[in-house]
Chains A and B, each alone.
Chain A
């Protein structure tokens, strides 16, 4: 029984098929995501990468297939449960930041806690994140007065305020200069490793691809695992006692221990999929 629990992936996508009219967007898409990993999805514009993120987050329903979150198929849930899943377990980062100009940076970070009925000490958490992400100087500013990099860091803080298990990022560096993109990339690695967050990133940015644990390419409706060499030369120095660590949910430690075994599982599933596609 314990073994089974340990083998359950954080997120598992199985045989996803999606059609828009007669056009096939995704067919037999399979992959899984484990805590503390960065999974990158690349592909041509309009090939369905963002749509796949929509399916993972429960915003879109595919024609066929299953999306398991901690062993439960989210596609069978109703809107209320899926909304709660998004609020509690998923963080979103977008290319165009999607901050609300009516609110200050601090209020934007707090925004997801408004929709999470179980959010506690939200202001304290937001302040810790502001410290952690070096946003103190701009926390009272409104987004339109900030640079792209600053906005994206606020968006990242917003994505993690509810302490989600998975962070979905859609072209997070697509609208940033090289330096800011580099910063954001390092931040992702830091968050993934230090806080055991799983990242699923849709990107064209080679730096993120290089630093990822898994790289999938979406081509002709199919998702194919790419053979890659991991480049972690720019790996940030691990800070053990970061303030964000306080947001960690209880019971994560056992999951960390099972990371290595679950990563092997993920690679196996991915290899199987790619082998199928090659045939």
Chain B
């Protein structure tokens, strides 16, 4: 133990000078990591902005399939009961097409729904349609998507349109109140009242009130906000699909006459091969359907991002190359100046591999330290730049610049810098381990 501690002490003492030299020579790593963090932060911010504001929520391989007479431009018309519906034949035909890897159906409840909520003592009620879609559609779109289903006896989960959050925050802002983030409103309690012709049979364990009023029945349910989304341009709330199908079936049976209780509005589909999209569109048009896709915008956005990526990565590449050359030179210098020491220690019994490992570990430690400094420096500079950029460029004030402060980026920064530093030291380390020993000690 004493021997080991002494070895570590002398090892650190003998490495001290070379570590100091390495610190000066490895300064370039700081630039690489700082630049990389700034680049990643800008890229993510711009990419998020494009995703949210230009592309909606559609992926590049996702398309919307609508009835051809749908007035897609008029979101109010599209949300209303008078909006065009998909026929059962169209639904069957689309589901049978093998052009898609996944098909999701947006359905709408045919009953009148009132949403009630209370905030800061103000109670408000609005009539809005209830939509539903398969929960798998929200995979990678909202967190905990797989929990979006109906549980009798529990408040009905609801995904609200994102614009309601914007409207709410605008209201709060103008009244001098603090604004909400999505996370703050998760689980926010509300109530819905579904108006049916005749009361549906009670759900087991559900809180249902029956109120007879001019031959109609009101069904009241507790609702909690699950998330917000801009997945559909339609004004309305999204509830779990199993709730709508379940509720409609009960309403249909209890009303004593045939009525499905919901209708098909549109599809979201993932195409298997994006190159075959024109052929798929032709097939769909023959079925009396139209296709909406963000592909055009997405392609252009991707092209722009590719140019930005290529430019930034070239700069990072050049910086890495310069840093490697600089560290390599500095290490070579260390090897030359310390050749006497290396050869002496080799003669006294140090193995080649120990010299190589010592060199590389030293370099990796120095690199990792620069990686950590670079991570914080990059984030600080980015935050500073983000604050002042909107005053210089008011056109891009809508972009929300968010610094990349997370474990993954931290680990990448540290790992990359350690790797660059260690790889630059590899060759000098091999030189150091292969020094002509007698020549060096006879100098």
Contacts and interface: CB of A to CB of B under 8 A. Distances in A.
Given A59-B437, A122-B3, A79 B349 contact: no
Interface in A63-121: 79-80, 83-84, 86-88, 92, 94-96, 98, 100, 102, 107, 110-116, 119-120
Contacts of A120: 3
A79 B352 contact: yes
Given A94-B442, A107-B10, A83 B351 contact: yes
A51 interface: yes
B314 interface: no
Contacts of B344: 98, 100
Given A80-B353, A92-B347, A114 B7 contact: yes
Contacts of A83: 346, 349-352
Interface string B72-96: 0000000000000000000000000
Contact of B340 (A92, A98, A110): A98
Contact of B442 (A88, A95, A115): A95
Contact of A86 (B6, B7, B11, B349): B349
Interface in B85-127: none
B345 A115 contact: yes
Interface of B is mostly: helix
Contacts of B437: 54, 59
B442 A96 contact: yes
Contact of B349 (A87, A94, A102): A87
B349 A112 contact: yes
Given A114-B10, A120-B3, A59 B351 contact: no
B contact residues, range: 20 to 34
A195 interface: no
B180 interface: no
Contact of A59 (B7, B345, B438): B438
Contacts of B170: none
B442 A50 contact: yes
A262 interface: no
A57 B352 contact: no
B182 interface: no
Given A96-B442, A119-B3, A59 B347 contact: yes
Contact of B441 (A84, A98, A115): A98
A121 to B, nearest CB: 9
Contacts of B352: 79, 83
A51 B442 CA distance: 12
Contacts of A115: 345, 348-350
B348 A79 contact: no
Interface string B315-356: 000000000000000000000000011001111111111000
Contacts of A51: 438
A79 B7 contact: no
A48 to B, nearest CB: 11
A94 B351 CA distance: 20
A166 to B, nearest CB: 13
A271 B153 CA distance: 106
B350 to A, nearest CB: 5
Nearest to A57: B347
B348 A112 contact: yes
Interface in B1-52: 3, 6-7, 10-11, 13-14
A83 B347 CA distance: 8
A113 B381 CA distance: 49
B438 A84 contact: no
Interface string A202-242: 00000000000000000000000000000000000000000
Contacts of A116: 349
A59 B442 contact: no
B3 A79 contact: no
A148 B7 CA distance: 28
A86 B3 contact: no
A100 B344 CA distance: 9
A113 to B, nearest CB: 7
A114 B6 contact: yes
Given A79-B353, A94-B441, A100 B348 contact: no
Q: For B14, B437, B438, which residue has the most chain A Cβ atoms within 10 angstroms? A: B438
A100 B441 CA distance: 11
Interface of A: 50-51, 53-54, 57, 59-60, 79-80, 83-84, 86-88, 92, 94-96, 98, 100, 102, 107, 110-116, 119-120, 122, 158, 162, 170
Given A83-B349, A84-B349, A98-B441, 8 more contacts: A50-B438, A59-B438, A83-B346, A86-B347, A96-B442, A111-B345, A114-B6, A115-B345
10 contacts: A50-B442, A51-B438, A60-B438, A79-B352, A80-B353, A83-B349, A83-B350, A100-B341, A113-B3, A114-B11
3 tightest A-B contacts by CB?
A87-B349, A115-B349, A83-B351
